């Protein structure tokens, strides 16, 4: 296992989580490492000037001018003291300049693949509010796309919690859509799927099929006949059929890149990639940085010797590996320490979900990757799954070092678990968009009022002075960073109720989670996450300064332009 080397993590200099400020030695905010001396005239490609510059760096705070040359920020300071010339000057006016926003967790390749799928999501993402509308949306999709006879019809984003019937579509519902085509719908969580009879037959899923480890084939009441709904690993039998070869076209990649850029994102993550995805992205034309974490759940997982860990090839970087320890809270497959408030139909009152792999396997994988110095993203939605990770880290016999293991989603963390995470150096990345999208569902059905009120406990994390990030888990929800900022600071549900007001944080704290903290999570705090001389010129221009706005008004913000490595990759005017 010569490619799993320790040097990536253990040669890094650690930062002080309390500050999250990059320790560049600058004089008057005018120069950084590698920049020309202040006495020499500077030549910039672009000079940004305005009173609404949010640098996210205490050393450059209050600056009203930023100079960019090629792909770097070369100067930050007072516009009247700018010691150079610029090819163009951008007068910001009331617009605000911020560091480029970082996608702390999502699925880039999956997002690219969903660009052309049927949108069966509920508002505000899609049009579906009941089973009949779902069926009509699929029929309209079949009519407009005209798939060949027998070709698979795939939809993305159905949400049983938002359908009037409050249930999953079953095989009968989907048989009514088409008898000619196999039909499969991916749940909004990505952790369940619904299939028609043709799709089940082609996948070989029958009454004789056994539930796989870490998954469930749901059955018709009183029989073993599949009802069409598949949980977790039970979906694997369908995937080769509806995904085909899995090859992503450049057009699909371009569509995903454009969507991310329109939301101010300059670094995007693929947090559950295959090696085929990595190899495809390595040959793709990318206009922003993409950090890939392949799934490393099997004992024979190896990083190929020719793929560098932790460094970019063009715009693509292998950041580490991904582990998945449980499922989805909104899909009621997450692994909880206490029972679900309302268990899924037909299950016992003490149902708590389930892990995807046993504790012994978690211990082995975590010890292996920590010892080798390979960064880990670990999917833990439920607190029982979170405890599996923490127990595994606690059993590692070698020093943990600066590992920065990221607990993805971390929805149901308890206070005692946050204490343990702080001790162990685990970074939580909260899916805090849940407070809007599924806050009512968590409170009323998934977790109940008390546990539901503290999903994504960001305030508790701030109080411990811990680094943390927030994310959208795209394409589970769109990569809308403004809505994520609003959701994190307001915690307002779809019904307009504030969910757990004591867990709200400030706008600046939420922005840090999307910029400098997210750079820290990726071991990129030296090059990204703040407007600091010497750093990469990843920037976003917003229609207003969010720090001057009331939290409830944040949805009024608009992305004006997005700049990645000095190049404009999105402009509202285009």
Through-space distance between the first and last CA atoms of the chain, rounded to whole angstroms: 48
The class (CATH top level) of 108-243 is: alpha beta
Let me know how long the chain is. 574
Considering the domain 1-100+530-574, what is its CATH architecture? Roll (2.30)
Tens of pLDDT along 143-174?
A: 999 999 899 999 999 999 999 999 999 999 99
Instruction: Say how far apart CA 217 and CA 229 lie, in whole Å.
Output: 7
Give this prediction's pTM.
0.87
User: Where in the chain is CATH 3.20.20.140?
Assistant: 251-529
Instruction: Say how far apart CA 459 and CA 490 lie, in whole Å.
Output: 12
Tens of pLDDT along 444-461?
A: 999 999 999 999 999 999
Instruction: Say how far apart CA 247 and CA 280 lie, in whole Å.
Output: 7
| Structural tokens at position 462 | 């701030």
User: Where in the chain is CATH 2.30.40.10?
Assistant: 1-100+530-574
Burial class (CB in 10 A: 0-12, 13-18, 19+), 146: exposed
Tens of pLDDT along 269-312?
A: 999 999 999 999 999 999 999 999 999 998 889 999 889 999 99
pLDDT, residue 34, reads: 36
- For 28, residues 6+ apart whose C-beta sits below 8 A from its C-beta are 38, 77, 81
In what side-by-side order are the strands of the sheet with 312-313? 101-102, 265-273, 289-294, 316-318, 312-313
* Superfamily, domain 251-529: Metal-dependent hydrolases (3.20.20.140)
| Structural tokens at position 171 | 């095989």
Burial class (CB in 10 A: 0-12, 13-18, 19+), 123: exposed
Instruction: Say how far apart CA 382 and CA 336 lie, in whole Å.
Output: 5
Residue among 288, 293, 279 at smallest CA distance from 314: 288
pLDDT, residue 22, reads: 29
Q: What angle do CA 433, 436, 438 make, to 5 degrees?
A: 90
Lowest mean pLDDT among 109-123, 193-207, 559-573: 109-123
User: Where in the chain is CATH 3.10.310.70?
Assistant: 108-243
What is the β-pairing status of strands 312-313 and 316-318?
antiparallel
β-bridge partners, 107: 270
- Categorize the per-residue pLDDT at 39 as very low, low, confident or very high, splitting at 50, 70 and 90: low
Is the predicted pLDDT of residue 428 greater than 90, yes or no?
A: yes
């Amino acid at each position: 296992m010569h490619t799993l080397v320790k040097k990536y993590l253990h040669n890094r200099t650690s930062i002080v989580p309390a500050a999250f400020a990059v320790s560049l030695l600058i004089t008057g905010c005018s120069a950084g490492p590698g920049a020309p001396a202040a006495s020499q005239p500077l030549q910039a490609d672009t000079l940004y000037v305005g009173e609404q510059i949010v640098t996210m760096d205490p050393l450059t705070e209050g600056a009203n001018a930023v100079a960019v040359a090629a792909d770097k920020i070369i100067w930050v300071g007072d516009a009247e003291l700018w010691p150079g010339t610029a090819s163009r000057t951008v007068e910001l006016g009331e617009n605000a300049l911020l560091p480029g926003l970082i996608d702390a967790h999502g699925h880039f390749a999956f997002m690219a693949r969903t660009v052309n799928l049927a949108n069966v999501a509920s508002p505000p993402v899609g049009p579906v509010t009941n089973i009949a509308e779902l069926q009509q949306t699929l029929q309209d999709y079949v009519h407009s796309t005209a798939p060949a006879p027998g070709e698979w019809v795939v939809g993305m984003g159905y949400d049983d919690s938002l359908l009037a019937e409050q249930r999953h579509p079953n095989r009968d519902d989907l048989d009514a859509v088409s008898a000619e085509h196999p039909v499969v719908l991916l749940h909004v969580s990505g952790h369940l799927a619904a299939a028609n009879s043709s799709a089940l037959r082609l996948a070989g899923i029958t009454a004789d099929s056994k539930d796989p480890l870490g998954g469930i084939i749901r059955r018709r009441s009183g029989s073993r006949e599949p009802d069409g709904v598949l949980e977790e690993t039970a979906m694997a039998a369908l995937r080769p059929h509806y995904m085909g070869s899995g090859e992503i076209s450049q057009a699909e990649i371009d569509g995903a890149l454009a969507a991310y850029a329109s939301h101010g994102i300059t670094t995007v993550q693929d947090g559950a990639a295959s090696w085929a995805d990595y190899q495809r992205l390595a040959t793709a034309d990318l206009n922003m940085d993409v950090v890939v974490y392949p799934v490393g759940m099997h004992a024979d997982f190896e990083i190929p010797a020719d793929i560098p860990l932790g460094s970019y090839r063009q715009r693509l970087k292998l950041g580490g590996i991904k582990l998945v320890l449980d499922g989805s809270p909104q899909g009621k497959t997450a692994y909880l320490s206490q029972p679900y408030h309302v268990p899924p139909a037909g299950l016992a009152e003490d149902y708590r979900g389930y892990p995807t792999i046993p504790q012994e396997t978690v211990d082995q994988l975590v010890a292996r990757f920590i010892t080798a110095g390979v960064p880990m993203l670990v999917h833990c939605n439920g607190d029982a799954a979170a405890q599996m990770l923490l127990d595994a880290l606690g059993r590692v016999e070698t020093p943990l070092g600066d590992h920065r293991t990221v607990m993805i989603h971390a929805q149901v963390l308890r206070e005692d678990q946050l204490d343990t995470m702080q001790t162990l150096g685990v970074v939580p990345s909260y899916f805090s968009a849940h407070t809007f999208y599924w806050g009512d569902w968590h409170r009323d059905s998934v977790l109940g009022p008390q546990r539901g009120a503290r999903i994504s406990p960001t305030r508790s994390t701030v109080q411990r002075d811990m680094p943390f990030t927030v994310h959208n888990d795209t394409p589970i929800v769109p990569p809308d960073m403004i809505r994520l900022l609003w959701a994190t600071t307001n915690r307002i549900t779809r019904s307009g109720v504030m969910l757990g007001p004591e867990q709200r944080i400030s706008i600046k704290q939420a922005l840090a989670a999307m910029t400098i903290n997210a750079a820290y999570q990726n071991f990129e705090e030296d090059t990204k996450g703040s407007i600091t001389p010497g750093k990469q010129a990843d920037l976003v221009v917003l229609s207003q300064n969010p720090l001057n706005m009331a939290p409830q008004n944040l949805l009024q913000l608009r992305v004006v332009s997005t700049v990645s490595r000095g190049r404009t990759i999105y402009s509202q005017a285009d």
